[in-house]
Amino acid sequence: MLAAFGNAFRTPDLRKKILFTLAILAIFRLGSVIPVPNVNVKQVNVCLTAAQSGENRGLYSLINLFSGGALLHLAVFALGIMPYITASIILQLLTVVIPRLEALKKEGQAGQTKITQYTRYLTLVLALLNATAFVTLAVNDQVFTNCPGVVYDKGIFPVVTMILTMVAGASIIMWLGELITERGVGNGMSVMIFTQIAATFPTALWGLKTARPGAQGWIVFLLVLVLGLIVMAGVIFIEQSQRRIPVQYAKKMVGSRMLGGSTTYIPIKVNQAGVIPVIFASSLIYLPVLYSQFRPNSPVSTWIQQHFVRGDHPIYMIAYFLLIVFFTYFYVAITFNPNEVADNMKKYGGFIPGIRAGKPTEDYLSYVLSRLTFPGSLYLGLISLLPSVAFILLNANQNFPFGGTSILIIVGVGLDTVKQIESQLQQRNYEGFLR
């Protein structure tokens, strides 16, 4: 693998792409530590220290992981990549519902360009809503529990300046991600969210060590590191697992030439839905907690605070697991249409050996898909509950690194990026990373 890395840097155009990507990521991380105007940085650091020690656990401490720590620092890039990801998911779901978007999707590159433009507009709208909500909580001293004074001035002009700065930061992130996609290595948005999550790993691991005195801290640190590597290896194995359905294309005469007769396959992954069900479930299960923040004294809010805030209560764990299973089936049903696949195969003369074309092919694909989705949904649910188990066994904080959305994104993006670099190396007659 070291030789493969050397070959990648010895190839001039590939070296430029890698260095360009690293430069963009450096700018991205710089913006994640620069605070917006009107922020009391000293008080924010005091509140963060208390939050990491468990003295105040607010709602946004739970999701700070996905902004690379920038959210609770009230940084310029505090919103991170999440507004763009949410907008992309919404547009992808609306494509199934709105005929106009479905028609654009089928138009090829021109239609995809239009959908990308709609995604940018929706990203700005979501960024404005998210920035307004979060700045409002900061002004009202609700970001950290029992830790006020994170902003200097609560007047209308400083507050609007904070909101516009965060929205501008989200726009810059969107632009940087597109630059990586066009001129760098890998998918820009995926690489940036990978960077956000990976940036929290050293702090989270060291926090597990410092939370315990002496040798006990080192034992827990090494134990979590070894278990994390084992979990990561298991995730890589399952993410690479797929069922390959063979497809045979019949031979046909075109003029005086015989065409077709090739054999290929339809790859159906065990985790066909990716990380999307976990994001959906995380967003939905935080809604009750968000409600309790705005109605703190009601009986319902008290029950929610007792069962949902920390994330280690059995009711929370069962609800989270069931939501992930439901959204896995839901998302797979939206993104993979057996009827459409069967029709396309029939149109181009393809068939599955032993299965008749048309409705039998559709039924067979639906059967295989349902059989694979069940273990895939259980896998996503169990991986996502690892941070909750860490709460119970290790008394870890919310940024426990090896579990949930973080490990899935780290592994998925890492594999995709390595495969892209490998394919470019193979085009130049070099051996790739995976031998």
Digit-coded pLDDT (tens) for 349-407: 788 888 888 888 889 999 999 999 999 999 988 888 877 776 666 655 555 566 667 78
- Verify that 389 and 247 share a domain, yes or no: yes
Q: What is the DSSP string of 29-84?
A: HHHTTSBPTTB-HHHHHHHHHHHHTTS---HHHHHGGGGTTTTTTTBTTTTTTHHH
- Verify that 155 and 299 share a domain, yes or no: no
Is residue 194 predicted with pLDDT exceeding 80? yes
Query: CB count, 10 Å around CB of 250?
Result: 12
Backbone dihedral angles phi then psi of residue 81, each to the nearest 5 degrees: -95, -5
The structure tokens 């993410």 sit at: 239
Residue 220 one-letter amino acid? V
Residue 179, pLDDT score: 92
Using DSSP bridges, classify how beta strands 251-254 and 350-351 pair: parallel, antiparallel or unpaired. Answer: unpaired
pLDDT digits (tens, 9 = 90+) for 269-306: 888 888 888 877 877 777 777 777 667 777 877 787 77
Q: What is the DSSP string of 354-386?
A: TS-TTHHHHHHHHHHHHHHHHHHHHHHHHHHTH
Buried b (16+ CB within 10 A) or exposed e, 160-170: ebbbebbbbbb
CB 329 within 8 A of CB 377: yes
CB 70 within 8 A of CB 197: no
**Tokens standing for 421?**
């670099």
Residue 204, pLDDT score: 74
- Verify that 427 and 282 share a domain, yes or no: no
Question: What kind and span of H or E run contains 135?
Answer: helix 109-139
**Tokens standing for 53?**
């020690």
CB 357 within 8 A of CB 345: yes
Q: Which of 54, 56, 40, 53 is nearest to 147 (CA)?
A: 56
- Verify that 285 and 434 share a domain, yes or no: no
d(CA 307, CA 317): 10
- CA separation (Å) from 330 to 196, 270, 273, 415? 28, 15, 9, 25
- Verify that 42 and 57 share a domain, yes or no: yes
Is residue 172 predicted with pLDDT exceeding 90? yes
pLDDT digits (tens, 9 = 90+) for 46-94: 877 766 554 444 445 445 555 666 677 788 888 888 888 888 888 887 8
d(CA 29, CA 48): 19
- Verify that 91 and 188 share a domain, yes or no: yes
Write the burial class of residue 280 (CB in 10 Å: 0-12 exposed, 13-18 middle, 19+ buried). buried
Is residue 165 predicted with pLDDT exceeding 80? yes
* Percent with pLDDT over 90 in the chain: 11
CATH of the domain at 239: 1.10.3370.10
Domain that holds residue 383: 212-396
Ramachandran sector of residue 269 (left: φ over 0; alpha: ψ -120 to 50; beta: rest): beta
Is the whole-model pTM more than 0.85?
A: no
**193-199 mean pLDDT:** 81
Average confidence score pLDDT of the chain:
80
Question: What kind and span of H or E run contains 15?
Answer: helix 12-31
Q: Which of 241, 237, 211 is nearest to 224 (CA)?
A: 211
CB 324 within 8 A of CB 281: yes
Q: Which of 230, 268, 272, 221 is nearest to 380 (CA)?
A: 272
Residue 341, pLDDT score: 86
Query: CB count, 10 Å around CB of 209?
Result: 16
Q: What is the DSSP string of 77-115?
A: TTTTTHHHHHHHHHHHHHHHH-HHHHHHHTTTHHHHHHH
Among 107-121, 151-165, 176-190, 254-268, which is the least confidently predicted range? 254-268
Residue 260, pLDDT score: 60
- Verify that 247 and 152 share a domain, yes or no: no
**Torsion sign over Cα 173, 174, 179, 182:** positive
- Verify that 36 and 97 share a domain, yes or no: yes
Is residue 310 predicted with pLDDT exceeding 80? no
- Verify that 66 and 132 share a domain, yes or no: yes
Residue 62, pLDDT score: 46
Structurally, the chain folds into a number of domains equal to 2
d(CA 227, CA 232): 9
**249-254 mean pLDDT:** 68
- Verify that 353 and 423 share a domain, yes or no: no
- Verify that 257 and 324 share a domain, yes or no: yes
Residue 72, pLDDT score: 72
Our separate counts of H helices and E strands in the chain read 17, 5
d(CA 197, CA 409): 8
- Verify that 78 and 102 share a domain, yes or no: yes
CB 377 within 8 A of CB 324: yes
Residue 55, pLDDT score: 42
3-state class (DSSP) for residue 257: strand
More confident residue, 179 or 232: 179
**Torsion sign over Cα 39, 43, 49, 55:** negative
Question: What kind and span of H or E run contains 327?
Answer: helix 314-335
